[in-house]
Structure 1
Amino acid sequence: MTSLGNAVRPLPHYLVQRYHGWHATAFTENRAWYRRLADEGQRPRAMVISCCDSRVHVSSIFGADTGEFFIHRNIANLVPPYAPDGQQHGTSAAVEYAVKELRVAHLLVMGHSQCGGVAGCHAMCSGHAPELEEATSFVGRWMDILRPGYEQIKDLPESEQVPALERVAVQISLQNLMGFPFVAEAVEAGTLTLHGLLHDIGDGQLTMLDGGRFVPV
């Protein structure tokens, strides 16, 4: 087994250069703002749950400043069902912290086009990815969250199934969020609103869930 000392290396040079460039410009020019964030803590107005996909740049899409968004990313922007079972739940913990401690006013679930996680779920559920069915597949077991959504789209024309499942992934996550008692209570009290979004990587368009369908923002 490779030792940790052999596995962990210094940053590659290009990242070091980029860091020094950021520190000399964006950080230095906004030093007072960063000091305020450090001294007073974060007060984000919204939480965004988005995909890990490197093509999805939430802060850039919304022109967000440092400290404005509390962002949680996972494969296929999924929220699991509420399950207080004493196990480790990264996404659920992030939601709990955002709603109960940070008291965000908005909670956005943002899916995207050409999502590899959603495509993997479709392949798994249609019998074309047996490796994801293995109990040892972390991706497969995570995508089980979306498995019920496959039943909603499996009878569509084949070319429409994965794009439809991308939309369903957002809807299932929102439905699961409402299963968290503290989320439902905040929504009922009017202190929290939920939003469903879908970002098209190729044309940059953003659609939002409104009345059960996705419409342009």
Structure 2
Amino acid sequence: MKIARPLPDYLVRRYHGWKATSYAENSAWYKRLAEGGQHPRAMVISCCDSRVHVTSIFGADQGEFFIHRNIANLVPQCKPDGEQHGTSAALEYAVTALKVAHVIVLGHSGCGGVQGCHDMCSGAAPQLEAQSSFVGRWMDILRPEYDNLPKADLPTRLRAFEKASVVRSLFNLMTFPFVAEAVDSGVLTLHGLWNDIGEGTLEQYDTETGDFKLV
């Protein structure tokens, strides 16, 4: 059974273009990264959305960020129940093995996962309620925030929900003992950000006021 096929031609051409330019101009740096291992300063938990380009936003180089993507940039609560937890495993590796100094949760505008959770909670997406829905069960992490949304128009509610996904993840991060210990000892800081894709703006969560403010 054929389970994999050759890359599309346009991706092959792009690869060869990168190898002949960016890689060729920085080959020594790539070799150093390969031989020396990775030593990222921060872990970024962002959405799978293809429009969220973490390295471009921060002008980051290879080896600078340990990036984990999932639907709606969510972090589950710490529940070592024997199930497979990709996000929890990535977090554990970043904090305990790589010793990152920062964990950044990056939300964004127009998040399809957050929209899906809103539809599910409002009864508009019964398919996501099915136990067999991977997306629906993942978005259960955010479901508790639905009742706290403002009584407003849909765009306002969705924007609030997107930011709630960041805050929910920040609180869930602290349920992991190794995260809480690192934060309490001062070797790790947590950060919550929200990016407006169209405007290019970045807002950060202020724990004192409970609001997001422009960076």
Partner of 2:79: 83
Tell me the distance in 1 between the aligned counterparts of 2:32 and 2:22.
15
Secondary structure class of the residue paired with 2:142: helix
1:56 to 47, 52, 55: 52
Partner of 1:41: 37
The CA deviation string for residues 89-132 of structure 1, in whole angstroms up to 9 with x for no partner, is 00000000000000000100000000000000000001110000
The CA deviation string for residues 153-195 of structure 1, in whole angstroms up to 9 with x for no partner, is 0634444211100010000000000000000000001100000
Deviates more, 1:76-85 or 1:28-37: 28-37
Query: Does 2:167 correspond to 1:171?
Result: yes
Counterparts of 1:183-194 in structure 2, within 5 Å, are 183-194=179-190
Query: Does 2:120 correspond to 1:124?
Result: yes
2:93 to 70, 94, 97: 97
1:68 to 64, 70, 73: 64
- Structure 1 unaligned regions, length at least 5: none
1:133 corresponds to which letter in structure 2? E
2:97 corresponds to which letter in structure 1? E
Secondary structure class of the residue paired with 2:68: strand
Deviates more, 1:41-50 or 1:155-164: 155-164
Cα distance, 1:87 vs structure 2: 1.3
1:10 corresponds to which letter in structure 2? P
Query: Does 2:190 correspond to 1:205?
Result: no
Deviates more, 1:30-39 or 1:116-125: 30-39
Secondary structure class of the residue paired with 1:27: helix
Secondary structure class of the residue paired with 1:42: coil
Percent identical pairs in the alignment equals 66
Hey, which bits of structure 1, 4+ residues long, moved more than 6 A?
A: none
Partner of 1:147: 143
The CA deviation string for residues 27-83 of structure 1, in whole angstroms up to 9 with x for no partner, is 111111111111110000000000000000000111100000000000000000100
- Structure 2 unaligned regions, length at least 5: none
Tell me the distance in 1 between the aligned counterparts of 2:156 and 2:86.
31
Deviates more, 1:116-125 or 1:153-162: 153-162
- What is the TM-score of this pair, normalised by structure 1? 0.96
2:126 corresponds to which letter in structure 1? P
Tell me the distance in 2 between the aligned counterparts of 1:41 and 1:207.
32
Secondary structure class of the residue paired with 1:145: coil
Secondary structure class of the residue paired with 1:35: helix
